[in-house]
Amino acid sequence: MKIQRRSLIFFLALGAAAFGQPAFTPPEEIEFRRASIISEGTRMSAELFSLKSLAGKRLPTVIMCHGWGGVAAGLRLQAMDFARAGYFVVAFDYRGWGESDSRLLLTGPAPKERPNHRFTAEVQEVREVVDPLDMTTDLLNAIHWVQGEPQCDTHRIGLWGSSYSGGHVVYAAARDPRVKATVSQVPALDSRNVIATEAERNKTYEEATRRARGEIGYPLPRARIVGNLQGGPVRERQALYAPVEDADKAPQCAMLFIVAEKEELFRNEDHAGKAYLRAKGPKKLVTIPGITHYGIYREARMEATKLGIEWFDLYLKK
């Protein structure tokens, strides 16, 4: 995937949002609280939004997930827009990102004596790496978690994703029939470019072999391996990630794809275009004219958010 330096402003801003910024104070009309979601034994940090005027009511629910190198704090503007439209909104940090805890690896062998399967050991965090299979597992666990929230209408759940997570929401909808609608902004839905050529395939499988043999670990936290994006990818996991092939496995789900006319990071035809053609349920493909990939977060943010609200209103409220 070709990455241009000038296209990184949004991701860098998302990363900064979780590190060293003042505590968040929501507008008066917004009910805001934090919660913990457990994903495969690891605590994830979540932020919840709704209108105070709708307190005590079951609401259609939107789960938001960020893309490559982002954190939940960077989604607050959109989350509050959805909350003002009458939704219960959940945004969360993937394991190892933002305010969430990390998966832990032993740095040495476990002791032979382990009473009740408990022991003390030195560990290393797997932090701020990009693993789409872990990320989608976290999203699926967020869907499980929200079923227990009193404000969630469990029959009206939608997913919102942008860029890399625009594929995550399709992946999740194909595996959880409780998802009734998705919005994918400028989505990347296929990471198999890491095995698309002989050179890329050799690099991916060499890394996988070395990792499996303990010769290398995971990328360093916030490593910049793909252009200047923060978060090094786990290539052998990317090779297994192609939600573009999953769109037809969620006939219960209404799918909206929003693309940038001047998308510079990948070909829309290979991602949103192909997923749109495969989708079996209600579907729509919208092209926002004149913008590049990151324009969806700048000059076209309000337009894209309006499109998302209208889509969720159609399939989660009616």
- Domain containing 129 — which CATH number? 3.40.50.1820
Is 202 part of any domain? yes
pLDDT in tens, 112-164: 889 999 999 999 999 999 999 999 999 999 999 999 999 999 999 999 999 99
Per-residue model confidence as pLDDT tens digits over 177-206: 999 999 999 999 999 999 999 999 999 999
% of the chain with per-residue pLDDT over 90: 86
Give the model's confidence band at 100: pLDDT under 50 very low, under 70 low, under 90 confident, else very high.
very high
Asked if the structure places residue 203 within a domain, the reply is yes
> Within a domain: residue 14?
yes
CB 70 within 8 A of CB 51: no
* Average pLDDT rounded to a whole number, residues 213-240: 92
Give the DSSP H or E segment for 161.
Answer: strand 152-162
- The yes-or-no verdict on residue 222 having pLDDT over 90 is no
Name the pTM for this structure. 0.92
pLDDT category of residue 6 using cuts at 50, 70 and 90: very low
d(CA 50, CA 70): 22
Residue 113 covered by a domain: no
Whether pLDDT at 238 is above 80? yes
Secondary structure of residue 107 in the 3-state scheme = coil
At 263-303, the pLDDT tens digits run: 999 999 999 999 999 999 999 999 999 999 999 999 999 99
Q: What percent of the chain has pLDDT over 70?
A: 93
| Residue 226's pLDDT band (cuts 50, 70, 90) | confident
> Is the predicted pLDDT of residue 81 greater than 90, yes or no?
yes
What counts of helices (H) and strands (E) characterise the chain?
A: 8, 12
pLDDT for 18: 38
pLDDT (mean) for 52-69: 96
How many angstroms separate the CA atoms of 263 and 2, rounded?
11
Rounded CA separation 232/17 (Å): 19
Q: What backbone torsions phi and psi does residue 217 show, to the nearest 5 degrees? A: -105, -155
Using DSSP's 3-state secondary structure scheme, residue 166 falls into helix
- 95 in a domain, yes or no? yes
Q: pLDDT band at residue 229, thresholds of 50, 70 and 90? A: confident
What's the mean pLDDT in 101-108? 93
Count of structural domains within the chain: 1
pLDDT of residue 20: 44
Query: Crossing angle for the helix pair 132-146 and 164-173, nearest 10 degrees?
Result: 60
Examine residue 110 and state whether it is found in any structural domain, yes or no. Answer: no
pLDDT for the residue numbered 46:
98
pLDDT at 22: 58
Q: How confident is the model at residue 9 (pLDDT cuts 50, 70, 90)?
A: very low
Number of neighbours of residue 166 by Cβ within 10 angstroms: 29
Question: Band of the pLDDT at 5, cuts 50, 70, 90?
Answer: very low
The predicted pLDDT at position 297 comes to 95
Within-domain flag for 98: yes
**Domain around 303:** 5-105+123-317
pLDDT value, residue 23: 84
Q: Answer yes or no: is 49 within a domain.
A: yes
Q: Tokens in use for 26?
A: 């929501």
Do 183 and 158 form a contact (C-beta atoms < 8 A)? yes
Q: Write down the pLDDT at residue 195.
A: 98
> Long-range contacts for 285-291 (Cβ within 8 Å, ≥24 apart)?
285/257, 285/259, 286/256, 286/257, 286/258, 286/259, 287/259, 287/260, 287/261, 288/258, 288/259, 288/260, 288/261, 289/261, 290/261, 290/262, 291/260, 291/261, 291/262
